Chain A
Amino acid sequence: MEIFNVILLAFLVICAVSVSFSKNLLNSVLIFMSYSLIMSIIWMLLESPDLAITEAAVGAGVTSILFFVTLKKIHALQSEQQEEERFDEQN
């Protein structure tokens, strides 16, 4: 159990650091989502299941969905087709 705790905490630190280093906004939101998921498991291990439920629903679910919608509204999410066109233009 101790090892499992250490692994989870290490993942938490890795996620927190890699959010600030990733250039792609979509990847940042996905990493943030996984951060919340790991956090909810840690709440479960800390014997507070009510916080774990809230963290999973709000942190991993609704907040990231709102982020996605906002990114789509400001046209920050590029579809694959657009990216392929860009790739073709560069070459």
Chain B
Amino acid sequence: MSKIRKQSEYEKTFAYRFFRWLGGEKDIFVGNMEMQPQKEYVEEEATIEERMKDRQQAMAEVYDGSHNMELRFFKILYKIFSVVFCIAIMAVLILTVSYLPEVGDPNRPTSNIVTETYISDGLGDTGAVNIVTGMILSYRAFDTFGETNVLFIATCCVMIMLMVDEDKIKKNKDSNDRGFEPKNDVILQVIAKFLVPIVFLFGIYIILNGHLSPGGGFSGGAMIGAGMILYVAAFGFDKTEKFFNEHVYKVIKVTALLCYGCIVTYYFLTGANGLECLILLGEPGKILSGGITLPINIFVGSEVACTMYAFYALFRRGGL
């Protein structure tokens, strides 16, 4: 984060002590690597005038279509070629699609032993009745782990770009939308009061039932995030800060990611070495079944819900 901390404030942090310990007494970053804010670029009046003159000259002499025959010819040529180019690309794409094997063809290359194994052994291996979730979260758990990391990194990038300094908020209140919100829209508030609990409940149901019915961590998490956005839009950030602030966000996000990584690593290590896995599969069809699918669903769900809400909050006011 591009945030200048005071020396005394920095000395209290864990990072300062860690780097001191790592480098032996002295921290090389103190005093040498503080970031400076970029200076505002101010243009001189002479250069502005010069630029405007150049622009007028260019408009009058070069870009005047009625005198410049070359330009007019080029414009017509440009239009023709753009249309031809688009049609050519469309033709190539449609031609490629026509060569693909038909849907449901038993001899198509994708219907090989992998698909058959997933369908026949899926329930026995993963214990999840919903075969899609079972496949995503146990056979391909590391793929999904990568996707969850992508979400984590995406929020980090948005934070780097949009997070506003706390000192700056105190100085000028125009950049902070907190003062203007909520606008106390009665219709929105009444509807949100009815809808938000239902949306939350449905999202939690989808996450917890991910191994039994359609859905899973991502869908349920997106739903809970959307519900939180609706709540914020109706009642303002002051009310959500009581149960969801930056600290809670950090704890949930890092814990979910770490637990997910640990569970998947343990599951794959025991599976690959033929050891007995402590996470039992359970009886298919019951709520406490599905092996690692249920806990991973919960972690992915909380991660996605945090991501959705963080995007909205950062876009809206540059802070959580």
The answer to whether A49 touches B312, judged by C-beta atoms less than 8 angstroms apart, is no
Number of B residues whose C-beta is below 8 Å from A? Answer: 19
User: Which of A13-21, A23-31, A50-58, A78-86 forms contacts with chain B?
Assistant: A50-58
Using CB atoms, name the residue of chain A closest to B199: A57
Q: CB within 8 A of B132: which of A50, A53, A62?
A: A50
The answer to whether A69 touches B218, judged by C-beta atoms less than 8 angstroms apart, is no
Using CB atoms, name the residue of chain B closest to A54: B219
Using CB atoms, name the residue of chain A closest to B307: A62
The reply on B234 being an interface residue by CB < 8 A is no
Q: How far is the CA of A54 from the CA of B311 in the complex (A)?
A: 17
Q: Which residues of B contact A54 (CB under 8 A)?
A: 218-219, 222
Q: Count chain A CB atoms within 10 A of each CB in B206, B222, B225, B308 and give the residue with the most.
A: B222
Q: Which residues of B contact A65 (CB under 8 A)?
A: 229, 312
Q: Which residues of B contact A49 (CB under 8 A)?
A: 214-215
Could you tell me which residues of chain B, from 282 to 320, have a CB within 8 Å of some CB in chain A? Answer: 308, 311-312, 315-316
The answer to whether B229 touches A62, judged by C-beta atoms less than 8 angstroms apart, is yes
The reply on B226 being an interface residue by CB < 8 A is yes
The reply on B192 being an interface residue by CB < 8 A is no
Number of A residues whose C-beta is below 8 Å from B? Answer: 14
Using CB atoms, name the residue of chain A closest to B316: A69
Given A57-B219, A62-B311, A66-B312, are A50 and B214 also a contact pair (CB < 8 Å)?
Answer: yes
A contact patch SS: helix
Could you tell me which residues of chain B, from 216 to 239, have a CB within 8 Å of some CB in chain A? Answer: 216, 218-219, 222-223, 225-226, 229
Using CB atoms, name the residue of chain A closest to B311: A66
Q: How far is the CA of A58 from the CA of B130 in the complex (A)?
A: 22
The reply on A73 being an interface residue by CB < 8 A is yes
Contact with B along A25-55 (1 / 0, CB 8 A): 0000000000000000000000011100110
The answer to whether B214 touches A62, judged by C-beta atoms less than 8 angstroms apart, is no
Q: How far is the CA of A66 from the CA of B206 in the complex (A)?
A: 24
The answer to whether B315 touches A69, judged by C-beta atoms less than 8 angstroms apart, is yes
The answer to whether A61 touches B226, judged by C-beta atoms less than 8 angstroms apart, is yes
The reply on A5 being an interface residue by CB < 8 A is no
Given A53-B214, A65-B229, are A73 and B219 also a contact pair (CB < 8 Å)?
Answer: no
List chain A positions with a Cβ less than 8 A from chain B: 48-50, 53-54, 57-58, 61-62, 65-66, 69-70, 73
Q: A50-B216, A54-B218, A65-B229 are in contact. List 18 more A-B contacts (CB 8 A).
A: A49-B214, A49-B215, A50-B132, A50-B133, A50-B219, A53-B223, A57-B219, A57-B222, A57-B226, A61-B226, A61-B229, A62-B225, A62-B229, A62-B308, A65-B312, A66-B312, A69-B315, A69-B316
**8 closest A-B pairs by CB:** A49-B214, A57-B222, A53-B219, A50-B214, A61-B226, A69-B315, A54-B219, A57-B223
